[in-house]
Amino acid sequence: MTGAQDWLGRVGQSWAAEWQRTDLSFSELTPHLRRRLSDIAGANVLDVGCGAGELSLLVARDRPDAFVQGIDLSPALIETAKSRVTADDNVAFDLANAAEWTCEPGARPDVLMSRHGVMFFDDPVAAFSHLRGQAVRGAGLVFSCFRTVADNPFFGEFGKILPPADGPPPDPHAPGPFAFSDKDRVAGILADAGWRDIAFDRLDFSMIAGAGEDPVEEAMAYFARIGPAARAIAELPAEERPAMREKVRSLAQQNCADGRVAMDASVWIVSATA
């Protein structure tokens, strides 16, 4: 599973290099987050695990009188996010661990948000408790996180073609993309960290791996760098990689329709109040 150290290195670098593709992959999720956030008033917005900055930039444009602060562990992603800022944008990006981040005096966040950036905390109760302590009383929190692998064919379909991992099954609660799939566990984490009014809404959407003139080739580029097959292919012996790539290509072709390669995905959109 992907943890904080991966974002500091290879994973963060890959997502930074492929930010257009990652933005596209979440293009059916992001509008839902924007709508949910529009219901929360606030002048200081914190984007936790902001990645390459898309959600921060969009929310900053939605709130021209507010200030949006994006933070992330990955130096590469923060540099990419900074490169997308214009002189007129009311947004800034900083390299920081959200579990230790401290706000500037007089700028405590009244809105906290994250698009899939909160499932990687080593100690999630401590991290959410720290964030609550930085926020103003009554601040609103909205974040998205994947539901189970079984609910996400975008990932589950690859489990059928990739070689099984060695060793015992991974801890389902270890930091990683699916660490927050159990809503009862997440509700307990937030409650233990002092958050209230905790609510979950299920959202099913299509996660897009490729589009454009040759969506299958675009999907292959995605899967080679940042998709669920990337690490598995990289760890195979060199002589086995071509055959695995052909299996991935076949899966992409099977899921290509209407000019795009897409598969079903499912998330929780979680909200709470400090």
User: Which is nearest to 107 in space by CA: 71, 49, 142, 68?
Assistant: 68
Residue 176 clears pLDDT 80, i.e. is over it: yes
Q: What is the pLDDT of residues 193-224, one digit of tens each?
A: 999 999 999 999 999 999 999 999 999 999 98
Listed in sequence order, the residues at least 6 apart from 97 whose beta carbon sits closer than 8 Å to its beta carbon are: 4, 73
Instruction: Give the pLDDT of residue 3.
Output: 57
Residue 163 clears pLDDT 80, i.e. is over it: no
Share of the chain above pLDDT 90, in %: 76
Helix (H) or strand (E) holding 86: none
Listed in sequence order, the residues at least 6 apart from 190 whose beta carbon sits closer than 8 Å to its beta carbon are: 128, 198, 270, 272
Instruction: Give the pLDDT of residue 25.
Output: 96
Q: Where residue 187 falls among pLDDT bands split at 50, 70, 90?
A: very high
Q: Which domains does the chain have, with CATH numbers?
A: 4-147+171-207+265-273 (3.40.50.150)
Residue 9 clears pLDDT 80, i.e. is over it: no
Cβ-based neighbour number of residue 166 at 10 Å: 6
Q: What is the pLDDT of residues 93-134, one digit of tens each?
A: 999 999 999 998 889 999 999 999 999 999 999 999 999 999
Q: What is the mean pLDDT of the chain?
A: 92
Q: What is the pLDDT of residues 220-251, one digit of tens each?
A: 999 988 877 787 888 888 998 899 899 999 99
Residue 206 three-state SS: strand
d(CA 84, CA 52): 8
Model pTM score? 0.93
Share of the chain above pLDDT 70, in %: 95
CA dihedral of residues 50, 55, 61, 66 (deg, nearest 10) = -50
Query: Helix 215-225 vs helix 241-254: angle between axes, to the nearest 10 degrees?
Result: 130
Cβ-based neighbour number of residue 247 at 10 Å: 15
Query: What is the distance, to the nearest Å, from the Cα of residue 201 to the centroid of all Cα atoms in its chain?
Result: 17
Q: Where residue 192 falls among pLDDT bands split at 50, 70, 90?
A: very high
User: Which is nearest to 221 in space by CA: 230, 250, 213?
Assistant: 230
Beta-bridge mates of residue 208:
262
Instruction: Give the pLDDT of residue 160.
Output: 84
**Residue range 15-21: mean pLDDT, rounded:** 90
